[in-house]
Copies of this chain bind each other. A is one copy, B any other.
Amino acid sequence: MANPHPMAALWRGGLLESTHLGHAVICDANGIVDAWGDPATVIFPRSSCKMLQALPLLETGAAAAVGLTDRHLAFACASHQGAHLHVDMASRWLADLGLSEADLRCGAHEPYDRTERDRLIKSDESPCQLHNNCSGKHSGFLTVTQHLKAGPEYVEIDHPLQKAVKAAFEEVTGEASPGYGIDGCSTPNFATSVAGLGRAMAAFAAARDTGSLRERAMYRLTRAMATYPELVAGEGRACTELMRAMGGKVALKTGAEAVFVAILPEQGLGIALKITDGGTRAAEAAIAALLVRAGVLEADHPATRKRLNAVLTNWRGLKTGVFDAAPGFP
Q: Which residues of A are at the interface with B, using a C-beta cutoff of 8 A? A: 10, 12-15, 17-21, 42-44, 105-109, 118, 121-122, 132, 178-186, 189, 191, 257-258, 275-279, 282, 314-316, 318-321
Which of B108, B118, B275, B282 meets A315, CB within 8 Å?
A: B108
* A185 to B185 alpha-carbon distance, docked (Å): 36
Contacts of A44 in B (CB 8 A): 12-13, 15, 17
Contacts of A19 in B (CB 8 A): 276-277
Contacts of A321 in B (CB 8 A): 181
Q: List 23 A-B contacts (CB under 8 A).
A: A10-B257, A13-B44, A13-B182, A13-B189, A13-B191, A15-B179, A15-B181, A17-B43, A17-B181, A17-B257, A17-B278, A18-B258, A106-B315, A107-B314, A107-B316, A121-B121, A132-B315, A181-B320, A182-B320, A184-B315, A186-B315, A186-B316, A277-B279
Contacts of A107 in B (CB 8 A): 314-316
* Distance of A133 from chain B, by nearest CB (Å): 10
- The reply to whether B315 and A185 form a contact with Cβ atoms under 8 Å apart is yes
Considering only CB atoms, which chain B residue lies closest to A19 in the complex? Answer: B276
Contacts of A282 in B (CB 8 A): 277
Q: How many copies does the complex hold?
A: 2
Which of A19, A181, A183, A257 has the most chain B CB within a 10 Å cutoff? Answer: A181
Contacts of A121 in B (CB 8 A): 118, 121-122
Contacts of A42 in B (CB 8 A): 15
* A191 to B17 alpha-carbon distance, docked (Å): 10
* Distance of A289 from chain B, by nearest CB (Å): 17
* A313 to B257 alpha-carbon distance, docked (Å): 15
* Distance of A47 from chain B, by nearest CB (Å): 13
Contacts of A12 in B (CB 8 A): 44, 181-182, 189
Considering only CB atoms, which chain B residue lies closest to A16 in the complex? Answer: B42
Having A14-B179, A19-B276, one finds 6 other A-B pairs with CB under 8 Å, namely: A12-B182, A18-B276, A21-B277, A121-B121, A186-B314, A277-B282
